Amino acid sequence: MNKITVVGAGNVGATAAQRVAEKELAREVVLVDIVEGVPQGKGLDQWESAPIEGFDSRVIGSNGYAEAAGSELFIVTAGIARKPGMSREDLLRTNVDIVKSVASEIKKCSPKAFVIVVSNPLDTMCYVMREVLGAPRERVIGMAGVLDTARYRSFLAMALDVSVEDIQAMVLGGHGDTMVPLVSYTTVAGIPITQLMSAEEIDKHVVRARNGGAEIVAFLKTGSAYYAPSSGAVQMAEAIVKDKKRILPCSAWLQGEYGLKDVYLGVPCKIGAGGLEKIIEIEMNPTEKAALMKSADAVRETIAQVQL
């Protein structure tokens, strides 16, 4: 790609920009933030690492969107993050306004761009972005499932003392307490996890994955996770840029899939040069299906509070 813009030069955004540049996913990486000097300083600092890291993606920072014009892809991380004791939903009012304003800027400067949303509460922010942009669902997807799945995989790899690469898993549903780690689709090099671990132990890791964000917030106290979240967003960006056709759990606008309509929810998606190329409908056991429906209800409740 020629240009990828990351909006929000905070923890997730700045780390994502650096990962995009180091992977050379675009010729130019633009970092946009409202705080004067921060995107410029971080952008320049990252570009100055290029001769050492050996990448040629030019990173620049800006407080406006002139430099972002013509971007093919945006990663939107603008907004406030959680502090201890806060739920993702507590961020709603502030982040709706922020994401609305970012969406109208994207609409003006790069109306055909793909947008990967990261700001929380994730599924609802995807809704706000798509409504304001007026874009087809192929172009607005949310990052949460990739992160939730990575957390789940990392815990299982630790417990089994095996490579993270051999753990295949999928966490679906909304990005919140109702997320749905699919035990029936969790395998280790093709071996069902249930052959390697007791149900009680699997459940322990499921619960830890579900609370994975809060675990980091409790450690950091002044902010939330950003290394793994930025990796998640950049994995999705890479799938689009390189037309990899990866099957990743992403938040997508459902139009009848899984019996659900007009809601953003984490489901298995094929991600390639067309953005969201396909939503894959998988079979689930009754418990998992019920958990997915409950998660959709929770997202719907949050979306209902949004006034655009």
Footprint of ligand NAD on this chain (CB under 6 A)? 7-13, 32-35, 77-82, 91, 95, 98, 101-102, 118-120, 122, 143-144, 147, 175, 223-226, 229
Q: Among this protein's residues, is 205 annotated catalytic?
A: no
Q: Which residue is associated with the tokens 């949310």?
A: 142
Q: How far is the CB of 15 from ligand NAD (least distance, A)?
A: 8
State which residue, 122 or 241, has the beta carbon closest to ligand NAD: 122
**Whole-angstrom Cα distance, residue 116 to residue 75?**
5
State which residue, 118 or 299, has the beta carbon closest to ligand NAD: 118
Dihedral, CA atoms, 47, 49, 51, 56, nearest 10 degrees?
Answer: -40
Q: What would the two tokens of residue 101 be?
A: 């304003």
Sheet holding 167-168, edge to edge: 167-168, 187-188, 191-192
State which residue, 8 or 249, has the beta carbon closest to ligand NAD: 8
Q: Where are the alpha helices (DSSP H) in the chain?
A: 11-22, 38-48, 50-53, 92-109, 122-133, 145-160, 199-210, 212-220, 227-241, 286-304
Cβ atoms of 60 and 50 within 8 Å: the answer is: no
Q: How far is the CB of 49 from ligand NAD (least distance, A)?
A: 19
Cβ atoms of 64 and 34 within 8 Å: the answer is: no
State which residue, 37 or 256, has the beta carbon closest to ligand NAD: 37
Q: How far is the CB of 4 from ligand NAD (least distance, A)?
A: 15
**Whole-angstrom Cα distance, residue 1 to residue 26?**
5
Angle (CA) 160 194 235, round 5°: 60
State which residue, 91 or 132, has the beta carbon closest to ligand NAD: 91
Q: Indicate the residue whose CB is closest to ligand NAD.
A: 10
Check 151, 153, 175, 210 and give the catalytic one.
Answer: 175
Q: How far is the CB of 3 from ligand NAD (least distance, A)?
A: 17
Q: How far is the CB of 156 from ligand NAD (least distance, A)?
A: 19
**Catalytic residue ranges:** 175
